[in-house]
Chains A and B, each alone.
Chain A
Amino acid sequence: MNALQVEQVVKVYGDKRAVNQINLEVGRGEIYGLLGANGAGKTTTMRMVLGLIYPDEGNIRYNGKGYSKELNRLMGYLPEERGLYPKIKVSEQLVYLAQLRGMSKADADRSLKYWLDRFNVPEYYDKKIEELSKGNQQKMQFIAAVIHKPQIIIMDEAFSGLDPVNVELLKETVKEVRDEGASILFSTHRMEHVEELCQNITILHKSNTVLQGNLKEIKSQFPRESVMLGTDGEVTGLQQIAGVTKVDRLETGYKIGISDEQAAQEILRTAMQQRTVNRFEVVEPTLNQIFIKAVGERHE
């Protein structure tokens, strides 16, 4: 039984279907990617999971049970638009938020200190939020979502607005939380994060699910459409090979678009006849490409 099950969920606002029959399941210790362009229905889905609004049709089950108030204690939420009390001390407001989620004051304080140490910023304990840099405010926001050791965490655009160092730091901690058994529903526009963190994904487009499943399986379904070729000099005749759609000259070789995977072997043969080949790879499509393809096709 999975920690979070969303079954055939529909939400209608007026005459607009904001979410149309979504299904997804997040297991324990899993980060599930929920992707979609702006307005695709991600936030509505997340709000329904959080129990803020009720689905018009379908069910959402948490550890097999329906929604109840007690679940608030088991859930953590990192909203897309960040916000904490600007004029109140970090310690006061984070302990307060943890208390609202049912933690005792002493436990909340201990947990907060652990997380501040984890981010190497114990000195923020007595600082006001408005005194912190934007990146550090984000860290505090992250702590607010995990301080009460939730089992189900909803993260909307978890890494937006962070510098690469902090993205790495936060990514590590997200993995830690996952490894401790939390189920994380994760939405982002940054596909490389999804590729790194998620096993399963759902791509929403205009309220509908357009692509869903295991990330590796999805990728294998999409044809490999480019070849990276590294040689010690110029290779001629690539353009003439059947199935080659596009040839880009790079500093160290070529990036070749293909419509047929058979063409890749022909490219290799052609190159080896002329030059020494340092590198040859039939590249998997990136999630970025898949996303654009899945969403883009329906744009037309």
Chain B
Amino acid sequence: MSNMKTIVGFTFKNKVKTKSFIVTTIILILLVTAGINSFYVMSLFNKDEGGPAKAEVVAMVNDTEGVAPALQAYYKKQSDSKLSIQVNDGSGDPATDEAKLKQDLAAKKIAGYLVASEGKAGEFPKFIYKSSNIRVTGDSTTKSLETALGSVKTDFIVADSLTDAQKKQLSEPITMSLEQVAVSEGNAGTNQTEEQKIAANILVYVMLFLFFMTAYMTGNMIAAEVTAEKSSRIMEILITSVSPLSQMFGKVMGMFLVGLTQIAVFVAAVAVNVNLPHNVAVLKEAHIDMSQIDPMLLIYGLVFYILGYFLFAVLFAAVGSMVSRTEDLGQAIMPITLLSLASFYISMFSLATPNTMLVKVASFIPFTSPTSMILRLGLGEVAYWEVWLSIVLLLVAIFIFGWLSAKIYRTGVLMYGKRPSWKELRKAMKAYKI
């Protein structure tokens, strides 16, 4: 047991000291910082657009129904709007008016102009907004104009038949927030408000990403280290010092700590950034509230992370032990790489549809279950018995693959030369009496 501790410590210490680990971790911190602060930075840009220096003027062509003065009045009431309306005394000929406005547009006197269609008298006209800078998805100017025109239209239609309070109610947008309801009893997924839903979404996304990154990266490191030990032949000394089993699991544990360290750094970076004063308000505006995270989801996430990690890690160790040269490693770990990619993408692509049959099936298959179950727990609907069944299946798989990997490892580390086929491996196992 003390040997195991020594190996864990040695593996951890030497990995954490490597340049590649330090650089990866710093990049991770920078990415997290940039990602969280991007909300704030974006809000800064939005404010710039709204500055008084850039006031936009919109003019009107062919205003037969007197919409322009009404719009102007609307914007005068909205003290915070950057838009203002310029009322032109039309020349009577829309073509001449438009030509003149085009010149103004070129001279940047106006930001754009509205052209009203010639509708029937007494009907609210249709409009075309023309500008040199149109975005298909609509920008703040067009959205504001739409709202303003809607208000003017209401006034136009109801005229004086409604009180101001009624008009105000009419113009207010409809409020509808979303809330998920658990349908059946005994479910792990609880009723979620919108904030909780957003928080769960982000958390699931982050957990999937972290799972993939750390499990895959540390798994790769395990395989690379085992192969390096083999190719440098220090393996011969190691296997005569400690049993291959404690060697393998020591390495897996050590790397597990490396992965946890990385996750801890990530979480710390998130926590610090989220709590920076300038970020708090911006994130609240975006309905991102990390205190809404369900702690059970975190705990289950950790459980599935740990189990998933060990399942992949023992396989990586076994493959690493079969390869004699580092150059051959990439090819050898390809099947496990594909497996981990599948596990990652099944869940990533199902973020919006967490209750499909694919996800349900995947959440019971040991290699894909860690990610799929996190997804179902966070966003979908899942019964407790399903979660526990999945955990038990994972444990069984870890036991079986751990045992198999240990056997492969014990044989593999003694075999040099070309990568052994399964048949050769079986033969060697028999010969070594493993």
**Residues on A facing B (Cβ under 8 Å):** 12-14, 47, 50-54, 69, 72, 75, 77, 79, 81-86, 88, 92, 96-97, 99-102, 144-145
Contacts and interface: CB of A to CB of B under 8 A. Distances in A.
Contact of A100 (B14, B238, B414, B432): B238
Contacts of B235: 83
Contacts of A92: 10, 14
Interface residues of B, number: 23
B6 A83 contact: no
Contacts of A88: 14
B242 A100 contact: yes
A83 B232 contact: yes
B427 interface: yes
A83 B241 contact: no
B243 interface: yes
A153 to B, nearest CB: 11
A42 B431 CA distance: 17
A83 B431 contact: no
A100 B233 contact: no
Interface string B1-39: 001001100100010000000000000000000000000
Given A53-B432, A69-B243, A72-B242, A99 B6 contact: yes
B414 A53 contact: yes
A54 B14 CA distance: 33
Interface string B72-101: 000000000000000000000000000000
B433 A50 contact: no
B168 to A, nearest CB: 72
A79 B242 CA distance: 16
Contact of B3 (A13, A100, A145): A100
5 contacts: A53-B414, A79-B236, A85-B234, A100-B6, A145-B237
A81 B233 contact: yes
B239 to A, nearest CB: 6
Interface string B235-264: 111111111000000000000000000000
A50 B414 CA distance: 13
Of A53, A75, A102, A145, the most chain B CB neighbours within 10 A belong to A53
Contacts of B3: 99-100, 102
Contact of B237 (A53, A79, A86, A102): A79
B294 to A, nearest CB: 43
A237 B263 CA distance: 91
B241 A100 contact: yes
A269 B427 CA distance: 66
Contacts of A101: 241
Given A47-B414, A53-B433, A83-B232, 8 more contacts: A13-B431, A51-B240, A75-B240, A79-B233, A79-B237, A97-B237, A100-B7, A102-B3
Interface string B342-354: 0000000000000
Contacts of B229: 83, 85
A85 to B, nearest CB: 6
A77 B237 contact: yes
A54 B432 contact: yes
Given A83-B232, A84-B232, A52 B433 contact: no
Contacts of A145: 237
Nearest to B411: A53
Nearest to B230: A83
A101 B3 CA distance: 8
B424 to A, nearest CB: 10
**CB-CB nearest 4 A-B residue pairs:** A83-B233, A83-B232, A79-B236, A100-B241
Given A99-B6, A100-B6, A84 B239 contact: no
A84 B431 CA distance: 28
Nearest to A47: B414
Nearest to B413: A52
A99 B241 CA distance: 9
B158 to A, nearest CB: 80
Contacts of A84: 232, 234
